[in-house]
Structure 1
Amino acid sequence: MILLSVSPEVVAESDRSPYAVRVEDLSITYRTTFEKKPTLKQAITRLGRGQRAVKEIQALTDVSFDVKVGTAMGIIGSNGAGKSTLMRAMAGILPPTTGKVEVWGKASTLLALGVGFNKSLSGRENIILGGLAAGLSRKEVEERADEVAEWTELGDFIDMPMNTYSSGMGARVGFSVAVHMKPDILMIDEALSTGDAHFREKASVKMAELRESARAMFLISHGLSSISEMCNECIWLDKGRLMMRGAPDEVIDAYMRHVKVKKSATALEEM
């Protein structure tokens, strides 16, 4: 979990802007290295060492859209489409290769459940750390810690080290921290796919509450039914390009036709 905060000046400016996020001509290219398999002659001359090669991966290409205040935006697409890359760019974690991203307001970003937690500390201690990372004062964090801990419904486990937690228990803590920091903009990547049915329903209700109070919400999920229920707009990415933007049901239908999958309850939960 990664929580971001901005200066009071930026928050003040956000109150005047009709937009929450604006993305213009965004392209992101990764450079990665890999070991090329050497030929017998190369292995002998290089004493068995392989040769490092550089490969460029175009994660996003010329993506542009703006998001007005009050929008709950779903982001869909197949694995490798660039969804998480886009979210990380909007969160300020990945710099654009070209283009720009503008964000107005304080963002609470849940990109990967449990990432950023100190697993040797208890759930309650990580709640406090998460609040401080979000820019809250020590007093504010302490005032909210008990409320967040109770919301997780982990009972006595909340005071046990997180390295004793299951993935679902860790998800409860991560989600609870993100949604209780009163963010202007909430960005969540696959958070609702982890946990039992009771937790997912409870998380959905909390997301609906945040949609009413936050400037904007972004949700990445392979559970297309969650996108349809909780979002009022949707974008579809494919191989790093923006394919479509519109009402969630229209975009989901177009996406499912593209991947040649019939619309069903099972497909909507697992796409």
Structure 2
Amino acid sequence: MIMEIAIEVKNLNISYKELKAYSIKKMLFSHGKSKAEPFHALKDVSFSISKGEIWGIIGKNGSGKSTLLNAIAGIFAPDSGTIDLHGNSVSLLSIGVGFQKNLTGRENIILGGLLLGFTQKYIEEKMQEIIDFSELGHFIDKPVRTYSSGMYSKLAFSITATLETDIILIDEVLSVGDEHFKKKSSARMKNLISNDDRTVLMVSHSLSTLKKLCDQIMWVDGGKIKMIGQPEIILDLYEKYMQ
């Protein structure tokens, strides 16, 4: 049986400028110019994921995990190489990915949905479900800049968990909010992940979670793929490596 490919990454390279620490005095005498050196976040990364598979990504902080998810989500543009999602819709669940702070929660739901490729009609049909799940009440019509971090994360989670895409990218977020909301969001996430047609790529430092949920593990180190394989094998090797 030929497996349908959902995500295909070939020879992906991404770098960005890294500013070095610079004193005010030096900056004044260099006419405001500061030294910036390229940091190679991803180096010649290639892999493919079949439709319905759940992959986990592991690696030390700064190894390129979040950069990879952001690139697949279309937030970061590659310097070279290709990312082919084979026509699948994709969403990124990451509390660090921002809203427009001066817009209300409701306006951010519409904007977020449009950026995910959904029609305004569909988003408006799902609007009340998103609001109810978020438990934000009247705050949904307040600017997001007035939200606490908990409210912010609840809204981000509710949008991704309700406007379901073919591919879900998860960056360290499997449940959010207070204890009540954590149980609810964890249950919703497990339900989303268990859909056989949905492809999931997740970054997590919880090795037990990855071992329980994933079909394959990708180990990223220094911007390169170190290893891809079965969770039990890769995670055991990684644990020994980190010790």
**Same fold by TM-score greater than 0.5:** yes
Cα pair distance change 1:17/1:71, threshold 3 Å: closer
2: CA distance, partners of 1:48 / 1:27: 31
1: CA distance, partners of 2:74 / 2:215: 24
2: CA distance, partners of 1:245 / 1:192: 22
1:142, CA displacement in angstroms?
Answer: 1.5
Match of 1:171 among 153, 156, 168: 153
TM-score, normalised relative to structure 2:
0.85
1:21 aligns with 2:21: no
1:55 aligns with 2:37: yes
SS at match of 1:59: strand
Structure 2 runs not aligned, ≥5 long: none
Cα pair distance change 1:134/1:49, threshold 3 Å: closer
Identity fraction in percent: 39
Structure 1 runs not aligned, ≥5 long: 1-15, 261-271
AA at the equivalent of 1:244: M
Match of 2:54 among 53, 72, 79: 72
AA at the equivalent of 1:54: A
1:27-79 Cα shifts (integer Å, max 9, x gaps): 222233446569x9xx6xx8475763331212112222110011111111111
Cα pair distance change 1:181/1:240, threshold 3 Å: same
2: CA distance, partners of 1:26 / 1:50: 33
1:110 aligns with 2:93: yes
1:232 is matched with 215
SS at match of 1:191: coil
TM-score, normalised relative to structure 1:
0.77
* Range 99-108 or range 205-214, more displaced: 205-214
Whether contact under 8 Å (2:95, 2:153) holds in the other structure is no
AA at the equivalent of 1:145: M
1:124 is matched with 106
2: CA distance, partners of 1:124 / 1:131: 11
1:97 is matched with 79
2: CA distance, partners of 1:200 / 1:230: 18
2: CA distance, partners of 1:248 / 1:203: 24
1: CA distance, partners of 2:77 / 2:107: 31
Matched ranges for 1:100-249 at <5 A: 100-104=82-86, 105-113=88-96, 115=98, 117-192=99-174, 194-211=176-193, 212=195, 214-249=197-232
**Which has the higher Rg, Structure 1 or Structure 2?**
1
AA at the equivalent of 2:151: M
